[in-house]
Amino acid sequence: MNTIILAIDTATPAVTAGIVKLDGIEVLAERVTIDARAHAEQLTPNVLAALADAGLTVGDLGAVVVGCGPGPFTGLRVGMATAAAYGHALGIPVHGVCSLDAIGIESAGTASEVLVVTDARRREVYWARYCGRGADRRSLCQQPGRRAGAAEALARPAVYPTASGLVRAVADFSAEPAPLIPLYLRRPDAKPQRPAVTR
């Protein structure tokens, strides 16, 4: 397998695109734009800029990794549709990962326990707890879910999924990737109208 990986995530306000060499998880280039309202406008330019920074082209890619959330409907669809399009056009596998895992795996080596919290809007958060200093993806303890009123837990500066974290979250690059399924974890804001009752 070609070991050059495109890693993208649009599950948070960060629009992340990075090029990672699988051997040793070496980040060759990474572009991140913080703009919760410009996922569609920023993702492709970030991918192309990261490829240019690494001195590579899309033809050099061996796989794509994409964060599948949890996150908002539009943001997730932008990243996942883009990843699927690259995979289809290039004939390469696309691996979906939990975006919280990408943050937790990257952070778990520096603490005995890490709580990853992202904004779910409506005064709610998505969260997952990761245990174990130096833990790898096989020994992480994860408790996904939603919890209201936890704004006080957001005392530290924001951390977003990184290209390195996304690649580390893939359990096995040699395995056939599972279908991409977005992690919305709640019903959409838009609701279908009920038909008017006529008498």
pLDDT of residue 2: 80
pLDDT of residue 120: 76
For residue 109, what pLDDT band results from cuts at 50, 70 and 90? low
For residue 191, what pLDDT band results from cuts at 50, 70 and 90? low
* Ranges 6-10, 78-82, 94-98, 135-139: which has the least confidence: 135-139
Please say if the pLDDT value at position 198 is more than 50: yes
Pick the more confident residue, 97 or 146: 97
For residue 188, what pLDDT band results from cuts at 50, 70 and 90? low
Please say if the pLDDT value at position 146 is more than 90: no
